[in-house]
Amino acid sequence: QVQLVESGGGLVQAGGSLRLSCAASRRTGSTSIMGWFRQGPGKEREFVAATTWSGGIAYYADSVKGRFTLSIDIVRNTVYLQMNSLRPEDTAVYYCAAARSAQPMGNINAYGNWGQGTQVTVSS
């Protein structure tokens, strides 16, 4: 089982930025797709963004396009989610997840490895 550890969450004012990190214990075929999901208070878990370790493909939810950006550090087995222009509605627990394959990449059921989550709170 691949371990995923998120970090970087916190409290920020609206319009601010945060960078989340997801460190994978190793890269295998079961972690070909790396995704970020979030679950706000009283809401279902939803897709945020996903990419591959090659970094050649990135897919974003419409709600974060133009504000959030994924990046990869192959040496550190780490995926980053840069979040800019944060809004109160971005408040949620953010989870990193890995899948062998996902079609579409936002298909939550395809992800079998999950991190413990990191809290992001955006104040108005």
Quick one: average pLDDT of 93-114?
94
pLDDT of residue 1: 82
Instruction: Tell whether the torsion through CA atoms of 102, 103, 106 and 112 is positive or negative.
Output: negative
Q: Over the chain, what is the mean pLDDT?
A: 95
Residue 66 banded pLDDT, cuts 50, 70, 90: very high
What are the φ/ψ torsions at residue 59 (nearest 5 degrees)? -135, 135
Residues 21-53: pLDDT tens digits? Answer: 999 998 888 788 999 999 999 999 999 999 998
Please report the beta strands in the chain, taking only residues with DSSP state E, as ranges in sequence order.
4-7, 10-13, 18-24, 33-39, 46-52, 58-60, 68-73, 78-83, 92-99, 113-114, 118-123
What pLDDT, on a 0 to 100 scale, did the predictor assign at position 56? 78
